[in-house]
Amino acid sequence: MGNPPGAAQPRLHPHDLDRIRRAAAFVAANDTGTVLADLLPGLAPAERDAVAAHSRFTHAAVLVFPHSLGDLHALLLAEGLEAGPIAPSTVVRARLARRYGRSADSLEVGILRAPVTAADGSPCEIEIFALAVPPGSGLDTLAAGERAHDHEAHLALEVTTPDPVVLAGLRATLLDRGRTTADGGGHNAHEDTTVLYFRTGAESGHRRLELNTSGHHAGVLAAHGSTGDRPADRLLHLMTGAWATQAVAVAAELRLADHLDTAPRPTTERLAELTGTHPDRLRRLLRYLTELGVFAPDGTGSHRPTEPGRLLRTDADRSLHPLALLYGGPFYRSFGALGYAVRTGRDAFEHTYGAHHFAHFAADSQLADLFDRSMAASTQMFDPIAELVDFGAARVVVDVAGGNGALISGVLAAHPHLEGVLLERPHVVEAARETLTKAGCADRCRLVAGDFTEEVPAGGDVYLLSRVLHDWDDRQCLAILRRLAEAVPEHAELLVVERLLPAEEDAGPSLAVPWDVHMLCNVGGRERTAEHYGRLFAEAGFELTGVAELPLDGALLAARRTR
């Protein structure tokens, strides 16, 4: 896998340059007061003044991805920014390592600072985090994911009195009165600085706030890294996770995001009329959803969807609305029998409903449609694949169990020389036809209604198998892979999309870990490590040749036949 032949590799991506320019312009146009008003609209003026009395706006931060950290000084100088020396960034490096399942030692992350004068004449700067992404390093997907989501971009306040009591008080004010949520932090030993991050509900593009102060404040960091200051608090938050699932599901059922993302927004009383709900109980639900970060008060007696909340709109791009209904509906009930699945080794879903979830959904057209739309909600996992893989020598791409066609349509749209074949169940083929038509490549893709466990189209140069193997145990996976080995020509490449469990020594936050429990409970399959997939490939007659990261903790595994 790699970039298309002849693709130019700019020393700094245009998106990165644009982020640097916008950050410098923002600093020059703002000061402490305007930044607090922007990020913390829920604070009363007197409360903002109190925060400003103990802190000041110091910088806007961005994360960029040069080929080498040594390139940055010259690149910034060309933008009129004279940066200081590069210092190692342990906090951001650790966050990136956890987010993408990498070893921290494999990432070279530095910090540069370039002075910019704020609107009130005070000295400020832009803070530039830089992850070195040398050509061929395999970090291009990580960079693409960060550019898409700007996880590390933030505005920063420095605590002017480096006292743990002041720091704890500011943290409590930002969380409680400022209606922010804790977003991690750490201690940078190289600079002896404690950093706390917060997620905000700001209407602007600024979603993260950094609060930093000199010294190592271990107690405040310990509190900030949890949902509460005491073990009992943390455990109670975990125990109420089912309540959050249902609250989000009810928000989706009532289409609250659709109703509240309008101008003017309805009052709670009017929203109750629109949704046929009890006004007081709806108000209490909205308060809980606000605490969860799905909605935020808009200052007029109504609420507005936050950035995550907008994904519950029914018309949002890659809406998570159907997924909320699925997780709060059929899977919610079957998860109540998780203990049965763990004790017996059998599927809780089949125990609950009397049939495996594929058969159960297939027998109900509405459930089948909900499941197919839910699968489509996570298709951003596919975004980098068209550019990540070199399709130059290929002519025919076969998508096995290709769902609604999101993956193959992206590949065909990016590579006009390709022809496609999509194999799917009969009732899904029409949805795939619609997706391919919208992408403008329906005339280059043959749709085949059938069962991939029985027959796989021959004659392809690249075969795609997305989010299929995790549905099955190892014995069934081997049968699927052996069927593919019979159909895949010797020269062809097999590309598999799955979430990968982190290796034990690299264990960290990963969506694959809870999904693994979902699979054992509801489907009978499992998530696997790259090594586990490698063993299955080898036994079926394939060799694992490469692994690349994808969004949503996904991975692209490349394999070729060995016999």
Q: If you search the block for the tokens 């036949």, which residue do you land on?
A: 561
Tokens of 470: 């995790």
**Whole-angstrom distance, CA of residue 380 vs CA of residue 317:** 10
Distance CA(456)–CA(465), nearest Å, equals 11
Write out the two tokens for 103: 């070893």
The residues near 350 (Cβ < 8 Å, ≥ 6 apart) are 356, 357, 524
- 446, 420 contact by CB (below 8 A): yes
**Burial of 21 (C-beta count, 10 Å sphere; 0-12/13-18/19+):** middle
Q: Which two tokens stand for residue 10?
A: 């700019």
Catalytic residue among 470, 491, 518, 532: 470
- Dist CA 420 CA 109 (whole Å): 40
Phi then psi for 282, rounded to 5 degrees? -65, -40
Q: How many residues does the chain have?
A: 563
Peptide bond into 308 cis (omega under 30): no
Note whether 484 and 494 are within 8 A (CB). Answer: yes
Please, are residues 561 and 542 in contact by the beta-carbon 8 Å criterion?
Answer: yes
Residue type, 277: T
Q: What DSSP string runs through 151-214?
A: TT-EEEEEESS--HHHHHHHHHHHHHTS--EEEEEEEETTTTEEEEEEE---SSS--EEEEEEE
Determine phi and psi for 175, rounding to 5 degrees.
Answer: -75, -45
Contact 27, 124 (CB under 8 A): yes
Helices (DSSP H) in 6-110: which residue ranges? Answer: 14-29, 32-39, 45-54, 72-77, 90-100
Q: SS3 sequence, 238-282?
A: HHCHHHHHHHHHHHHHCCHHHHHCCCCCCCHHHHHHHHCCCHHHH
Single out the residue of 171, 169, 159 nearest to residue 213, CA to CA: 159
Sign of the CA dihedral with 384 first, then 388, 392, and 393 last:
negative
For the question of residue 470 being annotated catalytic, the response is yes
β-sheet bridge partners, residue 446 = 421
Q: Would strands 303-305 and 295-297 be described as parallel, antiparallel, or unpaired?
A: antiparallel
Which amino acid would we find at residue 507? A
Contact 493, 397 (CB under 8 A): no
Residues with a known catalytic role: 470
